[in-house]
Structure 1
Amino acid sequence: MKYLIGFILLSMLGCQKSEQKTIEPSKVIEKAIEFSGKSKLNENVLKFKFRDYSYKAMPTCEGLQFERLSITSPTRDVVKNGELTRFYQDSIVMLADTTAFSYYESVNSVHYFTQLPLRLEDAAVRPSYLGKEEINAKIYHKLKVKFTENDGGEDFEDAYIYWFDTSDFSMDFIAYSFLVNGGGLRFRKAINQRTIDGVVFQDYENYTPKKTSQKLEDLGQFWEKGDLELLSKIENENVILEPSALNCN
């Protein structure tokens, strides 16, 4: 009997490993983008408000252009082709390199999370499939994403974990590690999911580990056990999609 049980357990483990090998992360990403409708962001202008700024993402013939407009002053930050330009009214403001990079990181980060999972199709993305994981009695595809140095920007060493519902491919959880400002880990739970003009948008609860020994890959289980601390809420307001007049012919 014990040999039979051992054989069954080995067979189950073999099936799990086989399934893990056959699931292509690109296919999971493809289905997640399809569920989200985020491909429409390549052809439409996205506007939203986050905290003290109005944001705009617009397609151009050279790729997406990101903007941030202060609500309290006539300053506007424009990110295009990997560079940030700051305007005060209609005049360009000269910035020190470190200041410009800080603003770039801030603008790009807000837009990046709003664009997900669409940005997982970027050339710099290198996804790997980590298997399936259960969180809150749901089964998720678990993907890890790293970036190439050439196309991944200044933060190419950051790593991300994404959890996609196996039933509908919604992106319910995100975790990531970062090196800037001393480095650290974050875990985000999707909340307030809503569909606007066929595109799924969601806000997030933003958590930080209670212990420095916690690992990126384990943050889903730590969150379920209540071992993460709520740091903030990421809530985008007044989300609007507008048709783009772009014509690159």
Structure 2
Amino acid sequence: MKYSLIVLMAFIMFSCNNKPKIELLSAEEIISKSIEVSGSEKFENSIVRFDFREMEYIIHRNRGHYHYERRFNDDLTEIHDVLSNDGFERTREGVLKINVADSMKTKYSSSINSVQYFASLPYGLNAKAVKKALLGEEQIKDRTYYKIKVTFKEEGGGEDFEDVFVYWVDKKSFKVDYLAYSYNEDDGKGMRFREAYNERYVNGLRFVDYNNYKTEDTSTKLVDLGKAFENNQLKLLSKIELKNIAVELINYL
């Protein structure tokens, strides 16, 4: 009897020790893996060009320095905006510097930064000003996702530091397939949900377009927009499409 009991206990201990270990990842680790499969440090030293809504953007990053450009035509002349470590500047036809009120500088800077932010995701989500929290897991369209909430510290978080984001990161591929965010701006406040599509890699960097949705149910919470999307309760508002993407890597080994 004693022998049988010892054998049984040994079998149970052996079975427990041989169970596959479940890897528990933190929000920080999940985002790091997502950045890795999307291009990793290549983003940090690159020149990315693309067209978005009849405007040309040039996103230049090099060893912590950034230089974002936007070009578009206004009244048959070209407007050239530059946002860099040195601030914002606007010129006409590349020569005539335009004096811009501080309030408009903030508005233009925020607009440029928003475009580059979404175009570069998930790069940037490991910045010092970013705070991340793992909310758990959620299924969307029969796939399982890590659900991560992102907020920003006031210092270093930019003009829109009060915005809140939620990212759905595929558990297998670690790619961001969905995101949601709340905004509170002078011209209104609300929430948006985005579904990534048209994935492509250009010179090792991942880019996607988005279906941009809104909810008409004011009682819906930001963290519940994934469920609302799954239940076809969101309305397609617009498409976010990047065109003519070109990538040049700088001193990348």
Indicate the TM-score class for this superposition, using the shorter chain for normalisation: 0.7 to 0.9
- Counterpart check, 1:86 vs 2:90: yes
**Whole-angstrom CA distance in 1 between matches of 2:191 and 2:22:** 26
Q: Secondary structure at the match of 1:130?
A: strand
Any idea what the Cα deviations from partners look like across 1:169-207, whole Å, max 9, x if unmatched?
010001000111221100000010111111111000001
Task: Give how far 1:99 is off.
Answer: 1.5
Q: Specify which of 179, 184, 206 is matched with residue 179 of structure 1.
A: 184
Which stretch has the larger CA shift, 52-61 or 215-224? 52-61
Number of corresponding residues: 228
**Whole-angstrom CA distance in 2 between matches of 1:230 and 1:112:** 21
Partner of 1:9: none
- Counterpart check, 1:155 vs 2:160: yes
- Counterpart check, 1:236 vs 2:242: yes
Partner of 1:139: 144
Structure 1 stretches (4+) deviating beyond 6 angstroms?
none
Partner of 1:77: 81
> What letter corresponds to residue 109 of structure 1 in structure 2?
S
**Whole-angstrom CA distance in 2 between matches of 1:220 and 1:20:** 25
Shift in alpha-carbon separation, 1:45–1:190, aligned structure 2, 3 A: same
Contact kept in structure 1, 2:212 and 2:239, CA below 8 Å: yes
Partner of 1:46: 48
Partner of 1:25: 27
> What letter corresponds to residue 215 of structure 2 in structure 1?
P
Unaligned runs of 5+ residues in structure 1 are: 1-18
Contact kept in structure 2, 1:38 and 1:117, CA below 8 Å: no
**Whole-angstrom CA distance in 1 between matches of 2:107 and 2:91:** 15
Q: Secondary structure at the match of 2:124?
A: helix
> What letter corresponds to residue 31 of structure 2 in structure 1?
I
Q: Specify which of 70, 79, 83 is matched with residue 68 of structure 1.
A: 70
**Whole-angstrom CA distance in 1 between matches of 2:157 and 2:199:** 28
Task: Give how far 1:21 is off.
Answer: 11
**Whole-angstrom CA distance in 2 between matches of 1:188 and 1:110:** 14
After TM superposition, the score normalised by the length of structure 1 is 0.86
Any idea what the Cα deviations from partners look like across 1:18-43, whole Å, max 9, x if unmatched?
x9995311100111011111421211
- Counterpart check, 1:165 vs 2:166: no
Please identify which structure carries the higher helix content.
1
Unaligned runs of 5+ residues in structure 2 are: 1-20
**Whole-angstrom CA distance in 1 between matches of 2:170 and 2:33:** 11
- Counterpart check, 1:204 vs 2:210: yes
Q: Secondary structure at the match of 1:103?
A: helix
User: Please, what is the CA RMSD of the aligned residues?
Assistant: 2.0
- Counterpart check, 1:214 vs 2:220: yes
Q: Secondary structure at the match of 1:121?
A: coil
Any idea what the Cα deviations from partners look like across 1:190-236, whole Å, max 9, x if unmatched?
01011111111100000111211111000000011111111100000
**Whole-angstrom CA distance in 2 between matches of 1:48 and 1:182:** 28
